[in-house]
Homo-oligomer: A and B are copies of this chain.
Amino acid sequence: MSSDVAPRDPIGVGLIGFGTIGTGVAKVLQRNAAVIEKRLGSPLRLVRIADLDTETDRGVEIGDIHFDSDARGLIADPRVDIVIELIGGYDAALKLSLEAIDAGKHVVTANKALLALHGKAIFDAATRKGVDVAFEASVGGGIPILRSLREGLVANRIQSLVGIMNGTTNYVLTEMEKTGEAFEVVLKRAQELGYAEADPTFDIEGIDAAHKLAILTAMAYGAEITFKEIPTEGISGVHPLDFEAAREFGYRIKLLGIAKAHGDDADRIEVRVHPTMVPADSLLANVDGAMNAVEVVGDAVGRTLYYGAGAGALPTASAVVADLVEIAREIQRSTSGRVAPLSYLPDALEPKPLVPLGEIVGPCFLRFTAVDRPGVLAQITGVLGEHEISIESVFQRGPHGSQGSVPILVRTRSASEAAVRSALESIDRLETVTAKTRLIRIEEGL
């Protein structure tokens, strides 16, 4: 037993990428050094930083930290035990991560895009080399959701995993709901305030959420899955009217990443990212602004939920440093690979058939735009009936927009996506229907 390993040598950390999050990591390592050492037993020492910009003052005491633009030199530096990759993007990040692994260094990253695309290559290389790759910061910012899935819930068959995984879109939706303003107006303000990037596509179109959902789904189900397989719809189509309708029906609108097991052993899995109406009194409905939350239901544990800041320098740094400490504990004991990065051992990962979107069953919210004339409602509900779609409630509103069209708001009972899509195709061809019908899925039982 090696519980009384005495050495407690400092563990050397090298940071590649000294931007917002990198700066947060340096700050947390410095200001919380004492408390971290009381828990870990070894000092965790930032010995080297590499960034192309060596001029800007980040408000971090550099002291005797070796700081230049030489990432390769950092990787090769024998004082560096763990390399933090925070440069983002794909190519350079992949190259440097693989080089670090090849040099026998452990790697910590917050780069979900990298993992979503090249996770397998990176994990395989790490396993071969006997080093660890940790990435808690890539999903849910500072929330210890990956750890909870891998370790806290290890005894469970995961039944579902549903969450708000992107802070920017949650901020925009929260503001739209609060102010009644249009998507474009709120997005512009979010950009001015720094809540959304200059090119917000990744966030707004749900791609970032899909990256994160791919990682979570792999962990929950041992599924080999890439984010490209995940049906993804962003929030740019959400209309102020939809929030009014949601309120009317007792819901709020959130961009959710959803993964569900079909069959006791998750023989097939259902994955998707889209704006969703959730019951107004559910915990997820009350996650506002840039916050994130993930609800995980396990067959033994039942319903659990994890909430916190999904982004930001310090919350993300909290997760990065947690990974450093976890790896440091391995270094203290000369071990590695304690827990498989994707929770399932590499040889237990397998491609899982995805449930086709058309087979997904649940209630829907439909917003029809039709001419304001008697008989139109009957016409629309008639088509729904032909497709065996039952209606739970209907609200019809006064004229809206320039052509004298009216919105008709419908909440259906449970119906398959295929039936709904097929009905909408017919309905949208009606000449009384003046705009494409808006469909927002409803997620009950949260």
Those of A335-382 within 8 Å (CB) of chain B: 335-340, 343-345, 348
Which B residues lie within 8 Å of A147 (CB)?
A: 144, 147-148, 151-152
A297: min CB distance to chain B, Å: 10
- The answer to whether the Cβ of A299 comes within 8 Å of any Cβ in the partner chain is yes
Contact stretch, chosen from A1-9, A78-86, A390-398, A413-421: A1-9
Interface core residue of A291, A300, A334, A348 (most chain B CB under 10 Å):
A300
- The answer to whether the Cβ of A40 comes within 8 Å of any Cβ in the partner chain is yes
A38: min CB distance to chain B, Å: 4
- The answer to whether the Cβ of A189 comes within 8 Å of any Cβ in the partner chain is no
- The answer to whether the Cβ of A301 comes within 8 Å of any Cβ in the partner chain is yes
* A348 to B144 CA separation, bound complex (whole angstroms): 24
Those of A303-359 within 8 Å (CB) of chain B: 303-309, 312, 314-315, 317-322, 324-326, 329, 333-340, 343-345, 348
* A15 to B102 CA separation, bound complex (whole angstroms): 44
- The answer to whether the Cβ of A19 comes within 8 Å of any Cβ in the partner chain is no
Cβ-defined partner of A333 (8 Å) among B293, B298, B338, B343: B338
Contact stretch, chosen from A154-162, A190-198, A224-232, A245-253: A154-162
- The answer to whether the Cβ of A302 comes within 8 Å of any Cβ in the partner chain is yes
* A343 to B336 CA separation, bound complex (whole angstroms): 21
Which B residues lie within 8 Å of A143 (CB)?
A: 152, 301, 304
Cβ-defined partner of A38 (8 Å) among B155, B299, B345: B345
**Is A304 in contact with B142, judged by CB distance below 8 angstroms?**
yes
- The answer to whether the Cβ of A76 comes within 8 Å of any Cβ in the partner chain is no
Contact stretch, chosen from A28-36, A91-99, A114-122, A175-183: A28-36
Q: Which 4 A/B pairs are nearest by Cβ-Cβ distance? A: A144-B152, A3-B337, A155-B321, A1-B130
Which B residues lie within 8 Å of A1 (CB)?
A: 130-131, 334-337
Which B residues lie within 8 Å of A144 (CB)?
A: 147-148, 151-153, 304
**Is A155 in contact with B333, judged by CB distance below 8 angstroms?**
no
* A168 to B333 CA separation, bound complex (whole angstroms): 42
Which B residues lie within 8 Å of A3 (CB)?
A: 127, 130, 335-337
Q: Kindly report which residue of chain B lies nearest to residue A345, judged by CB atoms.
A: B41
Which B residues lie within 8 Å of A286 (CB)?
A: 281, 283, 286
- The answer to whether the Cβ of A203 comes within 8 Å of any Cβ in the partner chain is no
Q: Kindly report which residue of chain B lies nearest to residue A219, judged by CB atoms.
A: B39
Cβ-defined partner of A2 (8 Å) among B142, B307, B309, B336: B336
**Is A222 in contact with B38, judged by CB distance below 8 angstroms?**
yes
**Is A308 in contact with B305, judged by CB distance below 8 angstroms?**
yes
Which B residues lie within 8 Å of A41 (CB)?
A: 345
**Is B281 in contact with A152, judged by CB distance below 8 angstroms?**
no
Which B residues lie within 8 Å of A208 (CB)?
A: none
Cβ-defined partner of A307 (8 Å) among B24, B136, B304: B304
Which B residues lie within 8 Å of A340 (CB)?
A: 39
Q: Given that A154-B40, A322-B155, A336-B3 are known contacts, is A300 also in contact with B314, CB under 8 Å in the complex?
A: yes
* A147 to B150 CA separation, bound complex (whole angstroms): 11
Interface core residue of A147, A152, A157, A291 (most chain B CB under 10 Å):
A152
Cβ-defined partner of A4 (8 Å) among B130, B142, B304: B130
Which B residues lie within 8 Å of A299 (CB)?
A: 31-32, 314
Interface membership of chain A positions 42-54, coded 1 if the CB is closer than 8 angstroms to chain B and 0 otherwise: 0000000000000
**Is B302 in contact with A314, judged by CB distance below 8 angstroms?**
yes
**Is B300 in contact with A318, judged by CB distance below 8 angstroms?**
yes
Which B residues lie within 8 Å of A293 (CB)?
A: 305
**Is A322 in contact with B152, judged by CB distance below 8 angstroms?**
yes
| 24 cross-chain CB contacts under 8 A | A1-B334, A1-B337, A2-B334, A2-B335, A3-B335, A28-B155, A32-B156, A36-B155, A38-B344, A39-B150, A142-B298, A144-B152, A144-B153, A155-B317, A155-B322, A291-B303, A301-B308, A301-B309, A301-B318, A302-B309, A302-B315, A306-B307, A307-B307, A329-B339
